[in-house]
Amino acid sequence: MNQLQPISQEGQRVLTTIQLAESFGTDAKIINRNFQRNASRYEQGKHYFALSGEDLREFKGSRQFDDSLKFTSILYLWTEKGAWLHAKSLNT
């Protein structure tokens, strides 16, 4: 596992779905599936930020990321509270 490098988004430290999955020792698909199944528990701006369109283009352009984000149409950035919700749901 690589050293986690939090990103700042609207004054909060956040992790990408891939970073969150790595920290939990699972796959990003599991994180996404967990989010879809429990969407009513997550609040945008409190637990996550969803970047798309121009916001996503700016985000990608301002950071050096691997090719896994190259074709992403929506990028979820998870706050600490969102990460805790995932941990609770996934029993990690």
Read off the pLDDT band of 66 (50, 70, 90): low
Q: What span, in angstroms and rounded, lies between the C-alpha atoms of 14 and 64? A: 16
User: Domain coordinates of the chain in residue numbers?
Assistant: 7-90
Asked whether the beta carbons of 74 and 51 are under 8 A apart, the reply is yes
Amino acid 30 reads I
The sign of the torsion formed by the CA atoms of 27, 30, 31, 33 equals positive
Q: Alpha-carbon dihedral of residues 6, 47, 18, 33, nearest 10 degrees?
A: 170
Q: How confident is the model at residue 92 (pLDDT cuts 50, 70, 90)?
A: low
Can you give the pLDDT at residue 34? 95
1-60 pLDDT per residue, tens: 456 777 888 889 999 999 999 999 999 999 999 999 999 999 999 999 999 999 998 888
Question: Which pLDDT score is estimated for 71?
Answer: 80
